[in-house]
Amino acid sequence: MRAIKLFIACSLDGFIARKDDSVDWLFHDNNYGMSAFYNTIDTVLIGRKTYDLMVRLGLPYYKGKTNYVFSRTKAGVEGEGIHYVSSDIGEFVESLRQRKGKDIWLVGGSVLIDSLLKRNLINEIILAVHPVILGEGIPLFRGGVAKEQRSVQKNRDR
């Protein structure tokens, strides 16, 4: 079975983007293992807001990979290599895992990550933590995971 792998950068305080979706704080001094990782996958999962940002940044798709963009309003195929998915996320991702191929990269964003975490569909999380404190922005992990983490911390403090 293919693995779903989240490979993503975040700030020291757990944000993946500023409130305005900008990622100008990301370091470009290293590829943080991305080149090697990129060769292990043939499919990418992208949330629609993340995809819109990619397009604005001039990266409309990951070349040589099958790109699935999850959207509540669009479906079908667009341009070169973009497949919109509006069906049940869990069922769709589970069916992808059953197909032959390389592993699957969960690109983001936080809504899609949260959805797959809640369904226990992420096999591996690879974080490139940049030593920058944003103070606010789009969190890598949404409320459900954060609440779990606080519970774990409280138990450690006892």
The model's pLDDT over 19-66, given as tens digits with 9 standing for 90+, comes to 998 888 888 777 778 889 999 999 999 999 999 989 888 888 899 999
Write down the mean pLDDT value for the chain. Answer: 87
Say if residue 80's pLDDT is above 80.
Answer: no
Q: Locate tokens 């869990």: which residue? A: 90
DSSP letter for each residue of the chain? -PPEEEEEEEETTSEEE-TTS--TT---S--TTHHHHHTTEEEEEEEHHHHHHHHHTT--S-TTSEEEEE-SS--EEETTTEEEE-S-HHHHHHHHHHSSSSEEEEEE-HHHHHHHHHTT---EEEEEEES---SSSEESS-HHHHHHHHHHHHHHH-
The CATH architecture one would assign to domain 4-101+112-157 is 3-Layer(aba) Sandwich (3.40)
**Where along the chain do its domains lie?**
4-101+112-157
By C-alpha distance, which of 105, 8, 24, 108 is closest to 65? 105
Say if residue 153's pLDDT is above 90.
Answer: no
Say if residue 156's pLDDT is above 60.
Answer: no
Q: Locate tokens 């609440």: which residue? A: 147
Say if residue 78's pLDDT is above 90.
Answer: no
CA distance 83 to 98: 18
Give the predicted TM-score (pTM) of the model.
0.84
Per the structure block, which two tokens stand in for 67? 């790109």
CA distance 82 to 61: 7
| pLDDT confidence band for 143 (50 / 70 / 90) | low
pLDDT score of 81:
80
